[in-house]
Amino acid sequence: MALVEINFDGLVGPSHNYAGLSLGNLASASHGGDPSYPRAAALQGLDKMRHNLALGLTQGFFCPLPRPNLRFLDALAINADAAGAPLPPDQARLRAAAWSASAMWTANAATVSPAPDTADGRCHLSAANLVTMPHRSHEWPDTVRQLRLAFSVTAHFAVHDAVPACFGDEGAANHMRMALDHGAPGLELFVYGRPGGRFPARQHEQASRAIARAHGLDPARTLFIEQSAEAIAAGAFHNDVVAVANERVLFAHEQAFADPEGTYGAIRAALPGAEIVVVPASAVSLAEAIKSYLFNAQLLTLPDATMALVIPSEAWDRPAVRSWLDGMIAGNGPIRHVLPVDVRQSMANGGGPACLRLRVVADPATVDPRFLLDPARIDLLAGVVARHWPEQIDPADLGSPALAEAVIAARAALLDAADLRDLA
């Protein structure tokens, strides 16, 4: 079978909560302390998966990671037995970190280089170390375990551990791939930030370069691009908040890159046929782009070869964005459809449709089928969520032994139902 793009969405975990843990992520900061609705959040995510499946696309999923992460609490000498007791604020924050369901944003799980791009003709995946944010820094050992299960056939896949923690890496959120079609050799674009601004630059250039070497990429088809400092300062904590690419199309905000013209020129030189759709700040300001999450969209090639932009409904509801999108559709650019989806629970923590998925170009027959979805399997997962996911969590509940028990039991029920007990 030909290589296709498979979107692996993270199923929102049963401990989904708003603890305000991500400095530089404006949504996370502004919702910190709010009650969360894990069941609704996971069902919204499953509806998005169902929606994309109904478009005729190949859809997969990843399971939530074990939470609370007792290993992490133990390593920080925070007594998990006293988990329900009041803690000083710094320790309470670390306890919240151990409970975070942030692995739902699988765009940060790994960087993926499909087989046509790599020296050994295998699809390479490097787990992201996510070291900049304590609550995400402990994801990767469990992520790599799950990746090694889903992509276990070593004739087709190579799964790498995260790069050393001296260089922050946030995975596919700072990586884009362009190609004339998914199965053709691609141009891989690694976007990094320079530290020194008011918010952390989470992606280090050296992490990106190490991954490109590990994946055996051809330097002539690899670009390292600096993200604009003003985008990071405005709240674009990942490149995928201001840019998204699919096949020959790059859709980006005018202020996404430090050197926009140089970046576009380098892309056109390396990939003749590239089409670059730039949204000017005069139509959608950087602040509006970040607030609306217009660019945190899934740019997808549909079975009829047209392209669709799956955006968060928040973006559709904002007049400046709507009017720009209406103009784009009325013109004859490469993006022909705009499809809003409701992922509001994830959005309130800074995670739009693009954050919730990891793209892997591969032959689905080479992937462990337990990670692939059809409507019946989505219904199965939705049933488990409806029965076991907590309805509501207040940040003050984090640490409660009864909630811990419920969250652990919910994940165990999922692994049972999905026949994925290997991840227990």
Nearer to ligand SUG, 173 or 271 (CB): 173
Q: Is 293 in the site for ligand SUG (CB under 6 A)?
A: no
Please state the closest distance from residue 346 (CB atom) to ligand SUG, in A.
Answer: 8
Contact pattern from residue 124 through residue 153 relative to ligand SUG, giving x for each residue in contact according to CB under 6 A and a dash for the rest: ---------x--x-----------------
Q: How far is CA 56 from CA 312, 373, 374, in A?
A: 20, 12, 11
298 part of the interface to ligand SUG, by CB under 6 A: no
Contact flag: residue 105 with ligand SUG (CB under 6 A):
yes
Q: Does 21 bind ligand SUG (CB under 6 A)?
A: yes
CB 393 within 8 A of CB 16: yes
Only one of the segments 62-70, 100-108, 192-200, 268-276 lies at the binding site for ligand SUG (rule: CB under 6 A); that segment is 100-108
Of 10, 13, 20, 45, the one binding ligand SUG by CB under 6 A: 20
> Contacts with ligand SUG in 353-382 (CB under 6 A)?
355
Among 13, 60, 68, 351, binds ligand SUG (CB under 6 A): 351
- Residue 238 sits in the site that holds ligand SUG (CB under 6 A): yes
Task: Tell me the CA distances in angstroms from 16 to 111, 207, 341, one per residue in order.
Answer: 24, 29, 19
Strands in 187-192's sheet, in edge-to-edge order, are 175-178, 187-192, 222-226
Q: How far is the CB of 206 from ligand SUG (least distance, A)?
A: 20
Q: Is 56 left (phi over 0), alpha (psi -120 to 50) or beta?
A: left
CB-nearer residue toward ligand SUG: 116 or 139: 139
Hey, is 175 helix, strand or coil? strand
Nearer to ligand SUG among residue 132 and residue 263 (C-beta): 132
Query: Rounded to the nearest whole angstrom, what is the least distance from the CB of residue 279 to ligand SUG in the complex?
Result: 18
Q: Does residue 290 touch ligand SUG according to CB under 6 A?
A: no
Count the residues in the chain: 424
- Count of residues near ligand SUG by CB under 6 A: 23
Q: With binding defined as CB under 6 A, does residue 173 bind ligand SUG? A: yes
Shortest Å, Cβ 282 to ligand SUG? 25
DSSP bridge partners of 380: none
Distance CA 140, CA 161 (A): 8
Asked if 102 is part of the footprint of ligand SUG (rule: CB under 6 A), the reply reads yes
Active site residues: 170, 238, 355
Long-range pairs, 410-413, Cβ under 8 A, ≥24:
410/14, 410/384, 411/13, 411/14, 411/63, 411/64, 411/66, 411/67, 413/384, 413/387, 413/388
Rounded-to-integer distance, Cα 370 and Cα 387, Å? 21
The one among 8, 18, 61, 192 contacting ligand SUG by CB under 6 A = 18
Largest CA distance in the chain: 61
Measuring CA to CA, how many Å separate 133 from each of 90, 102, 162, 238?
14, 11, 15, 13
Closest CA to 9 of 306, 412, 377: 377
Buried/exposed 5-42: b ≥16 CB within 10 Å, e otherwise: bbbbbbbbbbbbbbbbbbebbbbbeebbeeebbbbbbb
Residue 93 or 268 having the CB closest to ligand SUG: 93
Q: How far out from the chain centre does Cα 176 lie?
A: 12
CB of 132 to ligand SUG, least distance (A): 9
Q: Which stretch binds ligand SUG (CB under 6 A): 251-259, 261-269, 344-352, 379-387?
A: 344-352
**Residue 314 touches ligand SUG, criterion: CB under 6 A:** no
Output the six-digit token pair for 44. 């919204």
**What is the contact surface with ligand SUG in residues (CB under 6 A)?**
18-22, 25, 28, 100, 102, 105, 107-108, 133, 136, 173, 237-238, 240-241, 349-351, 355
